[in-house]
Amino acid sequence: MIIIMKPGASEENIRNVAGQIEEKGLTVHLSHGTEVTIIGVVGDKSKLQGSNLEIAAGVDKVVAVTESYKLANKKFHPEPSSVSLSNTSVGPGSLTVMAGPCAIESSSQLMETAFAVKKAGATVLRGGAFKPRTSPYSFQGLETEGLKYMKEAREATGLSVICEVTSARAIEDAVKYVDLLQIGARNMQNFELLKEAGKTGLPILLKRGLSATIDEWLNASEYIMAEGNPNVILCERGIRTFETATRNTLDLSAVPVLRQKTHLPIIVDPSHATGVRAYVEPMAKAAVSAGADGLMIEVHPCPEKALSDGPQSLTFQEFDSLMDRLRPYASLEGRTL
Ligand code: PEP
Ligand code: MN
């Protein structure tokens, strides 16, 4: 349920309504917009029966929220949110590019990539230290050693750094070294992991599950937010369909659909969505045009030798040209890159 206050409602009106709700043991989330304040109510709303909040001073209307996700819901927070990082923010007005190797392979591989993607205009360095591979015999990541290289790259370049976490133990380790945590597609509905990630308070990039609907994805984001962590970024990375020409099918319509349903920032990963280097640029441009707040792109110093996802990784040169060609698209959308 949300309570929309009248444009001129006073602080006292707002406190009074919030107080009545909290008295019944429900949780209140305030969203102060430019025009009006919205009071979001989370909990068993049957406890509010007989409260007559509709006629309380300063209240415009009371609206039921039928969706099961509340904190992520645009009705709770009509204006788009931004997630702040030390060197940038992800949200309206900017196009945040997160780039780097699929997996961290060595200190020099990561450091070299960090400087190259920074020079091209990326603001976040990506790299996996815990790799959720389809085969248990494939390279599984450097784990803590990789996290240390991430921190060194952050210190050397000033980029924010992001790593995927696949377990509670990985979270405990990663919080010491990185700025953002990534929950990968395979773990989107690992609810215990989502709760643990939420508790860290760090920004969380939540990738869409391979076969997840948009509503399931938003409910997954709600698990993180319900831990008191509003810093969630959604990442569309392609879904599984009958088509085999691409690794996954990039569901670009998810961007405008999400815009209607949620205030959370949305980024698109054309690398994992297509699995093919040649398709990354057209889909990156399309994602910007569809209204994405950012992109995640795999870049490797020598893709032929990459330990994972070489076929979809761009060389430094290719990434640099992509960034140049993306700038006019970003500017058309009113975003700085
Ligand atoms: C990744 O970003 O490294 C990754 C494994 O992506 P996804 O979870 O989207 O498959
Ligand atoms: Mn990858």
In tens digits, the chain (337 residues) has pLDDT values of 999 999 999 999 999 999 999 999 999 999 998 889 999 999 888 898 888 899 999 999 999 999 999 999 999 999 999 999 999 999 999 999 999 999 999 999 999 999 999 999 999 999 999 998 999 999 999 999 999 999 999 999 999 999 999 999 999 999 999 999 999 999 999 999 999 999 999 999 999 999 999 999 999 999 999 999 999 999 999 999 999 999 999 999 999 999 999 999 999 999 999 999 999 999 999 999 999 999 999 999 999 999 999 999 999 999 999 999 999 999 999 999 9
269 CA to centre of ligand 2 in angstroms: 10
Q: Does residue 164 have its Cβ closer than 6 Å to ligand 1?
A: yes
Q: Does residue 40 have its Cβ closer than 6 Å to ligand 1?
A: no
Q: What is the pLDDT of residue 60?
A: 96
pTM over 0.75: yes
312 CA to centre of ligand 2 in angstroms: 8
Q: Distance between CA 166 and CA 187 in Å, rounded?
A: 7
Q: Does residue 238 have its Cβ closer than 6 Å to ligand 1?
A: no
Name the closest ligand to CA 207: 1
Name the closest ligand to CA 271: 2
Kind of pairing, strands 294-298 and 266-268? parallel
Q: What is the pLDDT of residue 16?
A: 96
Nearest to 314 by CA among 297, 329, 326: 297
Mutation choice for ligand 1 from 204, 233, 237, 300, CB with most ligand atoms inside 8 A: 237
Check: CB of residue 63 under 8 Å from CB of residue 75. yes
Q: Does residue 75 have its Cβ closer than 6 Å to ligand 1?
A: no
Q: How many helices (H) and strands (E) does the chain have?
A: 10, 14
Which ligand 1 atom minimizes the distance to the CA of 269?
9
13-33 burial code (b ≥16 CB/10 A, e <16): bbebbbebbeeeebebbebee
187 CA to centre of ligand 2 in angstroms: 15
Residue type, 52: N
Check: CB of residue 301 under 8 Å from CB of residue 113. yes
Q: What is the pLDDT of residue 50?
A: 86
* Number of residues that this document lists for the chain: 337
Q: What is the pLDDT of residue 322?
A: 98
Name the β-bridge partners of 262.
Answer: 73
Q: Distance between CA 317 and CA 324 in Å, rounded?
A: 11
Q: Does residue 18 have its Cβ closer than 6 Å to ligand 1?
A: no
Q: What is the pLDDT of residue 113?
A: 98
Token look-up 């068993």 returns 44
Q: What is the pLDDT of residue 188?
A: 98
Mutation choice for ligand 1 from 272, 297, 313, CB with most ligand atoms inside 8 A: 272
292 CA to centre of ligand 2 in angstroms: 20
Which ligand 1 atom minimizes the distance to the CA of 182?
2
Q: What is the pLDDT of residue 272?
A: 98
